Structure 1
Amino acid sequence: MTQRLSPLARAGLLLFSVAVVGALIGFAWEGEVHEREEARLEALMTSATQELNASSRAPSSAQASSGISEAERNIIQRATQGLPPYKGAVPQALAADFLGPNAPMAAAWFMTEDSPQEVLGFYQGSLLDAGLPIYFHNYNENAGYVGYMEPHTKVMHTVSVLVQGQQTAVFVSKGKVADLLDNPVPMPAGLSLPPGAGEPMVLSFREEGRVRYVITADLEPEKVNALNAFYRGALEPQGWVMDEPEPGSNQVSFRRGSSRFDAAVQREGAAARLYLTLEQQE
């Protein structure tokens, strides 16, 4: 069996990858990544690393290559197409088309004992040798990205790296996401954001007849304590039943038949980040 990431870990890693691509679309081709966007990426980088550390370690090559499904194999092929293979790497599927039909994208990941700079140096050299116009950026010695855009199709190939303990997590992706800026994925029907929430990022994953939405948004810190009351008022009239919350928790869960909804808040210094997960039949 391949390693399964928790929904929160998967969302954090995908948001980091999406944010990298979004920054490149918006700023990199003008020669500079805006300071505010870079600060946001660094925050996502930290969050994604913590979530990856909280999940189990990556399996061995033998474990990763056994039990892989045809869908996972297809995701890996899509994500790695157009990039050279990395020595000894066994990529694992992360997700595909999680940004909706307007942004086809596939992402995979693998772990290596090499440093982030060794990984980025390999891809940077290989892509330059192939005559491709690359983009490249280091946040610090522990994280960065490299990649290129196909000029005619606007498809982006990206490699982003994060330190995870004594190893480096490497994320490879291929996608056409520029149209997402004009056509974002809408919120699921019947679900709304609480007062004080910012513009949401909506991801969706489909598996075996079920769909899981993961939504994140900035949240004004003073609105955190009103989260439970807001969702009780919004969901109970629709037939949802709230699970008993843990005392002092910033998380609330609801059930309706085979559907489940979770809302949680993660503090980020003086700011707060809202995470919503909705799982239901497709």
Structure 2
Amino acid sequence: MTGEPRPAVRAAALLFSMAVVGGLIGFSWERLVYEAPADVMDQVTPDDMLTQPARRTRTPEQEEILQRALSHFPPYPRGSRPEVLAADYLGSDVPIAVAWFSTQDTPDQVLAHYNSTLLDAGLPTVGQRYSEHAGYVGYWSPASEEVHLVSVLEQSGETLVFVSSGRMTRMLEGPPKVPEWIPLPLNAEDAAALTFKLEGGTQYTVSARVPDGTVPEVTEFFSKALIERGWRVQQVRPADESGVQLEVRRGEVRGMVMLRRQPPAPEVMIYLSLTERLMEAPQEEAPEKTR
């Protein structure tokens, strides 16, 4: 057996990160064996969702994005009206459509609903729970190399649901471009990095896995390596064998490092989410008026 994760799982984890890029949640590189299923969910239409009473008129472009994102899943029975989040922000080679809605239901309820829907349709699901507050479920279409996900992120008692569809294979090709100023353990594998230009700053996300390590060992590496590079490091909670979360900051860059291990797998998953704020250019003093 090789150490290369299945493309379906890698693509799903990557799309999940893209759909909730503002959240601190990681990638899953679990090994799954897929048969090539019929893409039966392509038969589901989002008409019920798209024809809900509108609070405002959608543009044709927004309707097209919603169609791409929602057409692979039936509407959630207790969700708000779906809205466009983003589309194709990684370029034409990586088509992505993301919609979102909110619900008062828990992440467990949302994921269980869509997991049952996919299983009833005869699709092998791909999914991951990062905590009681975050996770995803979806499926991979081998024919189109597209992954379709429902991702959840609970905030302040409300569950945000991201429905996404994307062809992520191009993002998995070629060597990773991890910024040199971000340290990784020497034995880290499957490193991947993405950079987003945002209004007022830049978002960096980096993921990798340590195949044979412990959470305390990898925590010690990051604490030492980052501090040596001038970072301030603070643990959100004590490290144990299941995971740890670190708050990090250096100058105008701040973010989180999350490490997780899911027994019985021996590997430790690494996820970094860092945001660099743009410095406002100092305003020049107005020249004195001449008399």
> Could you state the TM-score of these two structures normalised by the residue count of structure 1?
0.54
Distance 1:130 1:156 in 2: 16
How do residues 157-176 of structure 1 correspond to structure 2 at under 5 angstroms?
157-176=148-167
Distance 1:225 1:136 in 2: 34
By how many angstroms is 1:173 displaced?
0.7
Equivalent position SS for 2:112: helix
Could you say if the C-alpha distance between residues 97 and 115 of structure 1 is closer, same or farther in structure 2, counting changes exceeding 3 Å? Answer: same
Distance 1:132 1:80 in 2: 17
Structure 1 position 220 matched with structure 2 position 226: yes
Match of 2:122 among 127, 131, 143: 131
Could you say if the C-alpha distance between residues 95 and 19 of structure 1 is closer, same or farther in structure 2, counting changes exceeding 3 Å? Answer: farther
Structure 1 position 203 matched with structure 2 position 210: no
By how many angstroms is 1:78 displaced?
1.2
Alignment correspondent of 1:91 = 82
Distance 2:157 2:80 in 1: 16
By how many angstroms is 1:119 displaced?
0.9
How do residues 250-269 of structure 1 correspond to structure 2 at under 5 angstroms?
250=250, 252=252, 264-266=253-255, 268=257
Equivalent position SS for 1:114: coil
How do residues 145-184 of structure 1 correspond to structure 2 at under 5 angstroms?
145-183=136-174
Structure number having the greater helix percentage: 1
Distance 1:137 1:76 in 2: 24
Structure label with greater radius of gyration = 2
Could you say if the C-alpha distance between residues 215 and 17 of structure 1 is closer, same or farther in structure 2, counting changes exceeding 3 Å? Answer: closer
Instruction: Give the AA of the match of 2:255.
Output: Q
Alignment correspondent of 2:113 = 122
Alignment correspondent of 2:214 = none
Distance 2:138 2:229 in 1: 39
Instruction: Give the AA of the match of 1:220.
Output: L
By how many angstroms is 1:141 displaced?
3.2
Please list the CA deviations of residues 58-114 of structure 1 after superposition, one character each: whole Å capped at 9, or x if unmatched. xxx87x741543333322221112111112431121111223333211111111011
Query: Is contact 2:25-2:130 (8 Å) kept?
Result: no
By how many angstroms is 1:148 displaced?
0.7
Q: Percent identity?
A: 32
Alignment correspondent of 2:64 = 74
Structure 1 position 29 matched with structure 2 position 35: no
How do residues 184-195 of structure 1 correspond to structure 2 at under 5 angstroms?
195=181
Distance 2:150 2:94 in 1: 18
Instruction: Give the AA of the match of 2:61.
Output: A
Alignment correspondent of 1:274 = 274
Distance 2:19 2:73 in 1: 23
Match of 1:110 among 101, 118, 133: 101
Query: Between Structure 1 and Structure 2, how many residues are aligned?
Result: 194
Equivalent position SS for 2:72: coil
Equivalent position SS for 1:93: strand
Could you say if the C-alpha distance between residues 118 and 166 of structure 1 is closer, same or farther in structure 2, counting changes exceeding 3 Å? Answer: same
Query: Is contact 1:215-1:277 (8 Å) kept?
Result: no
Distance 2:130 2:147 in 1: 20
By how many angstroms is 1:215 displaced?
3.6
